[in-house]
Amino acid sequence: MASAASTNMNAVRDTMDVLLEISRLLNTGLDMESLSICVRLCEQGINPEALSSVIKELRRASDTLRASENSTSQG
């Protein structure tokens, strides 16, 4: 049984490594942890397109907030 679990973990690790490489090739900006969370959410039934939209919107909001903070601290 331990052998099967080990084989399964290796397969999961290999799959995540391939997904991370694809993510990097597509310049998604996702690290391994973020990508892993996205995969788990999709496995739970979250719509991938909706998840992508939420991530994009969060990045836009973060960039806007960061720009606002930079202009406030410089001015």
Q: Which two tokens stand for residue 67?
A: 């720009």
Q: What is residue 1's predicted lDDT score, i.e. its pLDDT?
A: 60
**pLDDT attached to residue 23:** 96
**Structural domains counted in the chain:** 1
Domain enclosing residue 9, as ranges: 1-73
Contact (CB, 8 A) for 41 and 51: yes
pLDDT for 37: 97
pLDDT tens, the chain, 75 aa long: 678 889 999 999 999 999 999 999 999 999 999 999 999 999 999 999 999 999 999 999 999 999 998 888 876
pLDDT at 44: 98
pTM of the prediction? 0.79
